[in-house]
Amino acid sequence: MSAALGVHIRTFLGHLKAEKNASGHTIAAYATDLRQFREFYAKHTEDPEADPSGIDHLTVRLFLGDLTGTGIGKRSVVRKLAALRSFFRFLVRKKVIGVNPAANIVTPKVPKTLPAFLDEPSVDRMMELPDLSTRAGVRDRAILELLYGTGIRLGELIGLTMPNLDLGGSMIKVRGKGSKDRIVPVGSRAADALRRYLGARTGVLARGPVFVGVGGAGLERRSVYRIVRKYISCVSDIEKRSPHVLRHTFATHLLNNGADLRAVKELLGHESLTTTQLYTHVTVEKLKRVYHQAHPRA
């Protein structure tokens, strides 16, 4: 008899960490999605220790239908389906099950939404908000300047270590998705903000994280979220106010000012040009607005 579903889920999560070098954020998301499926399956079979052998495509469809019935958004459903596909693919490779029951289930269509971003005047106003007479303000300014000035992800920011900081050469090395390293140029304003922050820090470790919280440990994701949300809220009424908004803003401003799409792809660390092309829709929408406002026969 196969092991219980929960055992296989723990093995899979361990595999993601040890062999796939998945980020903590990705592993936590998979854990949440698979735990939710496990609870559904236990209720469905009336056996909390049920093994995966009884899972078929109908089981997965029932789970997705159950999610939809709770009012969960389509994007969340799509993410959970992707988690199940990956998990079952792992079980097939391990010969725990014969076929992937989620392989042929149609992914729900999610309407495309343009990424939220700040305009240039809003960015300028935001950068002037941190109180540079305080250590917290100096830190906040460095975080904002680096996120906007480089377009790096939140995980790349908090994972940035001192050896990978080369302010003399105006560059940093970050570890992106799939544990892939890339070199990212740093503009003069971001570099100046970082120098000011490092000068204000106490007990800077030569090999430690660049951004630290209380006690010298690396700054937590939620802390950066809170910092960025605070400042964006002061300059914009956009709904999304996460660190990712500054990444969107970085890409959008580059393209608006004539940057090559492939260069932006490399700067963002995207695997596919299709992902980067999403930002061209933003610039096209801007051009449409300008056209309709300015042309006599628009």
**Does residue 114 sit within a domain?**
no
One of 30, 148, 197, 279 is an active-site residue; which one? Answer: 279
> Is residue 46 domain-shared with residue 165, that is, in the same domain?
no
Domain extent, residue 188, equals 120-293
Specify whether 279 is catalytic: yes
**Does residue 100 sit within a domain?**
no
| Beta bridge partner(s), residue 175 | 181
> Is residue 152 domain-shared with residue 288, that is, in the same domain?
yes
Least confident range from 42-51, 71-80, 280-289: namely 280-289
Specify whether 244 is catalytic: yes
pTM exceeds 0.95: no
| pLDDT tens digits for range 173-203 | 998 887 788 999 999 999 999 999 999 887 6
| pLDDT tens digits for range 208-235 | 899 988 777 788 999 999 999 999 999 9
**Does residue 23 sit within a domain?**
yes
What tokens does 228 get? 């960025």
| pLDDT tens digits for range 230-245 | 999 999 999 889 999 9
Picking from 93, 108, 133, the residue at the C-terminal end of a domain is 93
pLDDT at residue 33, as a whole number: 95
What burial letters (b/e) apply to 149-176, b meaning 16+ CB within 10 Å? bbbbbbbbbbbbbeebbeeeeeebebbb
| pLDDT tens digits for range 18-48 | 887 777 788 999 999 999 999 999 888 887 7
**Does residue 99 sit within a domain?**
no
Give me the CATH number covering residue 150: 1.10.443.10
> Is residue 182 domain-shared with residue 285, that is, in the same domain?
yes
Q: For residue 36, which of 77, 97, 94, 89 has the smallest C-alpha distance?
A: 77
One of 177, 189, 196, 221 is an active-site residue; which one? Answer: 177
> Is residue 28 domain-shared with residue 156, that is, in the same domain?
no
One of 139, 153, 241, 265 is an active-site residue; which one? Answer: 153
One of 229, 244, 281, 286 is an active-site residue; which one? Answer: 244
Angle (CA) 36-223-240 rounded to 5° is 70
> Is residue 84 domain-shared with residue 141, that is, in the same domain?
no
> Is residue 75 domain-shared with residue 152, that is, in the same domain?
no
DSSP labels, 195-206: HHHHHH-SS--T
More confident residue, 90 or 49: 90
**Does residue 298 sit within a domain?**
no
pLDDT at residue 291, as a whole number: 72
Rounded CA-CA distance 227/133 in Å is: 17
What percentage of the chain has pLDDT greater than the value 70? Answer: 95
One of 17, 20, 221, 270 is an active-site residue; which one? Answer: 270
Least confident range from 60-69, 107-116, 175-184, 269-278: namely 107-116
Structural domain count of the chain: 2
Q: Would you mind telling me the total number of residues written for the chain in this entry?
A: 298
Mean per-residue pLDDT over the chain, rounded:
89
Specify whether 177 is catalytic: yes
pLDDT at residue 71, as a whole number: 81
> Is residue 253 domain-shared with residue 149, that is, in the same domain?
yes
Give me the CATH number covering residue 35: 1.10.150
> Is residue 129 domain-shared with residue 271, that is, in the same domain?
yes
Residues in contact with 232: Cβ distance below 8 Å, sequence separation at least 6, in sequence order: 118, 126, 238, 241, 245
One of 247, 248, 253, 265 is an active-site residue; which one? Answer: 247
pLDDT at residue 256, as a whole number: 86
| pLDDT tens digits for range 151-164 | 999 999 999 999 99
> Is residue 138 domain-shared with residue 221, that is, in the same domain?
yes
Specify whether 135 is catalytic: no
